[in-house]
Structure 1
């Protein structure tokens, strides 16, 4: 046992292997899909996961406009924000948000599943969401992941 090492390898910013992956949101249930994407962005699917380091992959979500919400959530779920002014509370349904920006609902769902600190804000920058099937990240040669296989 002199030659064996049982130390846990803790990753840091220099030793992390970050990849680019593409996931398709077509006909996926929003919450289940977002939790899997958040896991990949955070790096929890990797064996060398370190909680305080950005060790996740860069995730490109395509077809975010085709994501599903179960039940009557599309019209009855409410997103609340505040302008910062008195009486400035604003309400929006997922349908209203998707009319404005198709990717916003998926972004909000994934952001809510990331840590609420400096690391979470840094991790969120590794997420790229697009409403259609096209994305401008072909130069990074992303590999496709089937979320259905992970669920």
Structure 2
């Protein structure tokens, strides 16, 4: 087996403040760091990405009239089990889900993509529990 897959790479921690940032543009940058595309050793089949902490998820913005027209759907699997929730309602109820849904759509749809998504930490406010890690603040 390839030794590159077994090695633990030097993973760094990045802190991103989502206050007044646009959802799609922020998600693209976060995905870039989760996949490890900013590193020289990047290969699509090797997981060398970093950890990303997102704070102030409740204050994220979207452009245009999407705050009223954008809906998120989920289905229970039973007939009549379709649930629909608007962006405005979801940002009040669970703002983490909005960012996670956006980033999940940009990551690879395989086991490596799920490992990358596990390194994403999203918090509603300023306070987070990863103070012990050495974090690099990304100004976007």
TM-score range, shorter chain: over 0.9
- The residue aligned with 2:87 is 94
- Matched length: 138
- The residue aligned with 2:118 is 125
- Match 2:12 to one of 12, 19, 22: 19
Runs of 5+ in structure 1 lacking a partner?
1-9
Distance 1:93 1:43 in 2: 32
TM-score by length of 1: 0.86
Runs of 4+ in 1 over 4 A off after TM superposition: none
- Match 1:58 to one of 51, 58, 72: 51
TM-score by length of 2: 0.92
Contact 2:69 2:86 in 1 (8 A): yes
User: Which whole-Å deviations, capped at 9, do the CAs of 1:23-53 have from their partners, x for residues lacking one?
Assistant: 1111111001101101100111111112112
After TM superposition, the structure 1 = structure 2 runs for residues 65-144 of structure 1, keeping only pairs within 5 Å, are 65-144=58-137
Contact 2:72 2:86 in 1 (8 A): yes
- The residue aligned with 1:3 is none
* Farther off after superposition, 34-43 or 137-146: 137-146
Secondary structure of the 2:98 match is helix
Runs of 5+ in structure 2 lacking a partner?
none
Q: Rg larger in 1 or in 2?
A: 1
Query: Considering only aligned residues, what root-mean-square deviation do their CA atoms show, in Å?
Result: 1.4
Contact 2:58 2:92 in 1 (8 A): no
Distance 2:10 2:75 in 1: 38
- The residue aligned with 2:32 is 39
* Farther off after superposition, 98-107 or 33-42: 98-107
User: What's the offset of the Cα at 1:11?
Assistant: 4.4
